[in-house]
Structure 1
Amino acid sequence: MYEDRYLEEYELGEKRSTIGRTITETDIVVHAGHTGDFFPHHMDEEFSKGEAFGQRIAHGTMTFAIGIGLTATAINSKAFTYGYERLRFPTPVFIGDTIHTEIEITRMSDDPKRPKFGQVVESCWVKNQKDETVLFCEHILLVQKQGNE
């Protein structure tokens, strides 16, 4: 889906939510293979039984990739990702958890280096089926201003 929007078309406080996605053991194994992160907290069920959470936990990087990936529902040719800030994992994700992402536009400003663009900050809360926040971050978008084609 295409949804071209200029900076002036965004609104502070605007909110949206994504669909859910259940995390599987296969997700964890594939992510470990992609990243090389085979730490026992993710891969070894017996080891994890004796650890703080009593079971394997999903990689934070996988939670980020899936949670933020869920937000990619529209292509906006007037915007692109500048980066992410304040990334935190306050609650672990376990096999069988279903996560979704809630997004709110919390800041907007001119971009200090690019006069034809502004910055839109989307605060992102990835939540599990218990409505617990498992990831928080700020997604910074560079968005073209109107009249700068």
Structure 2
Amino acid sequence: MSRSGLDFVKVGEVFRFAKTVGEVDVTLFAGLTGDFSDTHINEQYMQERSNLGRRIAHGALIVGYMSTVSTISIQHIIHKPDLIDFPVSAGYDRIRFLRPTFFGDTVTVSYEITEVDHEAGKSFAKMEAVNQKGELLAVGVHIMRWARKLKEA
């Protein structure tokens, strides 16, 4: 019997991913993206010119952690036999960076399924990133689209 992967997505399920942000993470991310802003790579600049007093991680790096937890949320589904569809990220809505992420912060992203729309073939999740102090760093909504598989030739 063929089923939609969306049948296995349950409102209220929560998934998490945690990672300590290190200098290597930020430096490699700067190299990958080309974003070499002084706010990320120049400690002296941040000490002298910023009220933060030290370097911060890229906001897009935190969105990357959000992407990681979205992948974790589907790992228990994607290899089930006889699925008629597969998940594809349809994007992120209302991403907000509420406070800076500093080098050495341990960021935990939670991903809570808030809605399953079988008719549209989508699921929605509330995402929150917090640091080791429990301070909210970033929030957003992720949309997962469940695309029909191509028929075999």
**TM bucket normalised to smaller:** 0.7 to 0.9
| Range that drifts further, 26-35 or 65-74 | 65-74
Answer yes or no: is the 8 Å Cα contact 2:22–2:103 preserved in 1: yes
TM-score scaled by length of structure 2 = 0.78
Change (3 A) 1:10 1:69: closer
SS of residue in 1 equivalent to 2:11: coil
| Identity fraction in percent | 30
SS of residue in 1 equivalent to 2:71: coil
1:11 to partner: Cα distance: 2.2
* Residue of structure 2 in register with 1:65 after alignment: 64
Answer yes or no: is the 8 Å Cα contact 2:56–2:103 preserved in 1: yes
| Pairs aligned (count) | 137
* Residue of structure 2 in register with 1:114 after alignment: none
SS of residue in 2 equivalent to 1:42: helix
Q: Which runs of 5+ in 2 are unaligned?
A: 80-85, 149-153
Indicate the RMSD between aligned Cα atoms, in angstroms: 2.4
Alignment of 1:118-133 (within 5 A): 118-133=121-136
Q: 2:9 aligned with 1:6, yes or no?
A: no
CA distance in 2: counterparts of 1:142 and 1:58, whole angstroms: 29
SS of residue in 2 equivalent to 1:72: helix
Change (3 A) 1:67 1:119: closer
* Residue of structure 1 in register with 2:83 after alignment: none
Alignment of 1:1-149 (within 5 A): 6-18=5-17, 20-49=18-47, 50-73=49-72, 74=75, 76=78, 78-109=86-117, 110-111=119-120, 118-143=121-146
Q: Which runs of 5+ in 1 are unaligned?
A: 112-117
